Amino acid sequence: MAKPNYQYEKRQRELAKKAKKAEKAARKSTDKPDDDNPELSVDGLTPGDSAGDPGVAPASEPTA
C-alpha cells in the first residue's frame, strides 16, 4: 500500500486558501465604490456641513 503524500495535500490546501483569499479581495474591491474623498458621507456633505447654504453659518453658532 502506498503511503500518503502529506506535503502534496498541504500544498493543495494552501493553494485553495490562497485562491479563496484572492477571490474575496477581488470581490471586496468591486463592491467598494471608488470615492475620491472617503471623508464624504453618503449625501456628499462632510460631517461639519449643514444641508443649507455652505456660505452661511449655522444658527446654533453665535456670531461676534
Residue pointed to by grid coordinates 471623508: 39
> Model pTM?
0.44
Tell me, what's the pLDDT at 25?
A: 95
Tens-of-pLDDT digits for all 64 residues of the chain?
Answer: 889 999 999 999 999 999 999 999 999 998 866 555 555 555 665 666 555 555 655 566 666 6
Measure the CA–CA gap between 34 and 58, rounded to whole angstroms.
31
50 contact partners, CB below 8 Å, separation of at least 6? 58
With beta carbons less than 8 A apart as the criterion, state whether 59 and 53 touch.
Answer: no
Query: Grid coordinates in use for 6?
Result: 502529506
46 contact partners, CB below 8 Å, separation of at least 6 = 39, 40
Return the pLDDT at 28. 93
